Structure 1
Amino acid sequence: MLYPELFKQLESVRWDMDKDIPWDAFDASQLSDEQAATIKMNAITEWAALPATEMFLRDNRGDSDFSAFMSIWFFEEQKHSLVLMEYLRRFRPDMAPTEEELHAVRFEFDPAPVLETLMLHFCGEIRLNHWYRRASEWHTEPVIKAIYTKLSQDEARHGGAYLRYMKRAISNFGVEAKSAFAKVGVLMASARRTAQALHPTNLHVNKALFPRDTVQSRLPNPEWLEHWLDKQINFDAVWETKVVERILHNLSLLMERSFTTVQELNKYRKELARELGASLEAVASPRAV
C-alpha cells in the first residue's frame, strides 16, 4: 500500500493556516478589486475538489489504497479553497464566495476510465503548480503571494503522489496502463494547439448537463479562467512550455523511454495501441486445437 507512506510524507510538510500564513504582513494598497475577484474564482474552483473526490471514490471502489489517499488529497484541496476564502473574509469580505456559488460546482461527473482519469489529474496538478507559481508572481500583495506559493507547492506534491499510483498501475496492468497514460499525455501536452488550456476544471464531465457540464461553466463568471491566464497572470508560451516539459519528463521516467516532444510521445502511444490491440485480439481468438 502507498497510502501509509504518502500520509507520513505529506503530513511532515503540511502547513498551518494560522501559523504559516503571514497574515500580519497584509498591505491593502497592494490589493486591487481585479485581483480580489480572481482570488474568489480560484476559491470556487478549488471547492470543486468535492465532486472530483466523489468521482474518485465511486470509480475506485475496488482500490481501497487509492481511495484512502483521497482523504489526504481532498483535505488539502479543500484547505486551498478555505485559505483563499479566509483571505477574502479578513481583507475583502465583499468578495467572499457565497455558499450557493460554492455549491454550484458540486455536480456528478460521468463515470470515466480510471487510468485515464488518474493521468488527467496528474497533468492537472502539474498545470496548477505552474498556474499558481505565475499567480504568486503576478500578485503584489504579500499575503496572497505567500498563499499562492503554498498552494503551488502542495499541487507539486500531489502530482508526485499521483505519479506513485501511476507507477503502481504500470506494475499491475502493464501495456494497458502505459497506453492510457500516453493517450492522455498527448492530449494534455498539446494544449498549445487548442483554443483553451486543458485542465479538469474546463473539461466536459456530464453529458446530461451540457452546456453547464464543466466546473468552469458553473462559475459566477465562466469566462474568467481564460482572462486570468491570458490577460492577468500572463500564462504565455514560455510557461506553457514549462508545463509540457514537466509532463514529458515525468512520462519519460515512468515509461523508461525518452520523450522530448509531443510527437515522440504520440509515436509511442501508437506503438502501445498496436501492442494492446494485438494482445486483445489474441485473447479474443479461439485457441488452435
Structure 2
Amino acid sequence: MLYPELFKQLEAVRWNMDTDIPWDQFQPDLLTEEQAQTIKMNAITEWAALPATEMFLRDNRDDSDFSAFMSVWFFEEQKHSLVLMEYLRRFRPDLVPTEQELHEVRFEFDPAPALETLMLHFCGEVRLNHWYRRAAEWHTEPVIRKIYETLARDEARHGGAYLRYMKRALNKFGDEARAAFAKVGVLMASARRTAQALHPTNLHVNEKLFPRDTVQSRLPDPGWLEAWLDKQIQFDAVWESKVGDRILHNLSLLLERSFASVQELNRYRKEVTQAVAAAAAQRASGGSGAQTA
C-alpha cells in the first residue's frame, strides 16, 4: 500500500494556518479590489475538492489504498479553500463566500474511467502549481503572496502522490494504463492549442447539467478564470510551455520513453492503443474458439 507512506511524507511537511502564515505582515494598501475578488473566486474553486473526492471514492470502490489517500488529499485541498477564506475574513470580510456560493460547486460528476481521471488530476496538480506560482508573483500584498506560494508547494506534492499511484497502475494494468495516461497527457499538454484553460474545474463533467456542469460555470463570476489567467496573472505561452514540458518530463520518466513534444507522445499513444486493441481482439478470438469447441 502507498497510503501509509504518503500519509507520513505529507504529514511531515504540513503547514500550520496559525503559525506558518504571517498574518501580522498584512499591508492593506497593497491589496487591490481586483486582487481581493480573485481570492474569493479561488476560495470557491478550491471548495470543489468536495465533489471531486466524492467522485474518486465512487469510482475507486475497488481500491481501498487510493481511497484512503483521498482522506489526505481532501483535507489539504479543503484547507486551501479555508486559508483563502480566512484571509478574506480577516482583511476583506465583505468578500467571504457564502455557504450557498460554496455549495453551488458541489454537484455530481458523471462516472469516468478511473485511469484517465487519475492522469487528469495529476495534470491538474501540475497546472495549478504553476498557476499559483504565477499568482504569487502577480499579487502585491505579502501575506497573500505567501499563501499562494504555500498552496503551490502543496499542489506539487499532490502531483507527486498521484504519480506514485500512476506507477502502481502501470504494474497492475500495463498497456491499458499506458494508453489512458498518454491519451489524457496529449490533451493536457496541448493547452496552447485550445480555446479554454485545461483543468479539471473547467471541464464538463455532468451531461444532464450542461452547460452548467463545470465548476467554473457555477462560480458567482463564471468568466473569472479566463480573465484571471489572461489579463491578471498573465499566464502566457511561456508559462503554458512550462506546464506542458513538466507533463512530458514526468510521462517520459513514468513510461520510460523520451517525449520531447506532444507529437511524440501522440505517436506513442497510437502505438499503445493499437496494442491494447490487438490484445483485446486476441482474447475475444480465443474466447469464441473455446466456446465453439
The TM tier, using the shorter chain, reads over 0.9
Same amino acid, percent of matched pairs: 80
Structure 1 position 287, deviation (Å): 3.8
| 1:32 counterpart residue number | 32
| 2:236 counterpart residue number | 236
**Equivalence map 1:35-50=2 (5 Å):** 35-50=35-50
**Equivalence map 1:26-105=2 (5 Å):** 26-105=26-105
| 1:283 counterpart residue number | 283
Tell me the alpha carbon deviations over residues 92-122 of structure 1, each in whole angstroms, 9 at most, x when there is no partner: 0011111000000000000000000000000
- For 2:29, the aligned partner's letter is S
- For 1:189, the aligned partner's letter is A
- For 2:24, the aligned partner's letter is D
| 2:130 counterpart residue number | 130
Counterpart Cα distance in 2 of 1:284 and 1:188? 33
Counterpart Cα distance in 2 of 1:110 and 1:271? 29
| 2:186 counterpart residue number | 186
Tell me the alpha carbon deviations over residues 33-71 of structure 1, each in whole angstroms, 9 at most, x when there is no partner: 100000000000000000000000000000000000000
Counterpart Cα distance in 2 of 1:273 and 1:181? 11
- For 2:12, the aligned partner's letter is S
| 2:245 counterpart residue number | 245
Name the Cα RMSD after superposition.
0.7
| 1:18 counterpart residue number | 18
Counterpart Cα distance in 1 of 2:259 and 2:178? 14
- For 1:92, the aligned partner's letter is R
Q: How many corresponding residue pairs?
A: 289
Counterpart Cα distance in 1 of 2:275 and 2:66? 28
Counterpart Cα distance in 1 of 2:211 and 2:243? 28
**Equivalence map 1:248-259=2 (5 Å):** 248-259=248-259
Output the TM-score relative to the length of structure 1. Answer: 0.99
Counterpart Cα distance in 2 of 1:201 and 1:38? 15
| 1:3 counterpart residue number | 3
Tell me the alpha carbon deviations over residues 188-217 of structure 1, each in whole angstroms, 9 at most, x when there is no partner: 001100001100011000000011000000
Counterpart Cα distance in 2 of 1:70 and 1:92? 32
| 1:226 counterpart residue number | 226
Counterpart Cα distance in 1 of 2:169 and 2:89? 42
| 1:161 counterpart residue number | 161
- For 2:250, the aligned partner's letter is N
Counterpart Cα distance in 2 of 1:276 and 1:3? 29
| 1:195 counterpart residue number | 195
| 1:114 counterpart residue number | 114
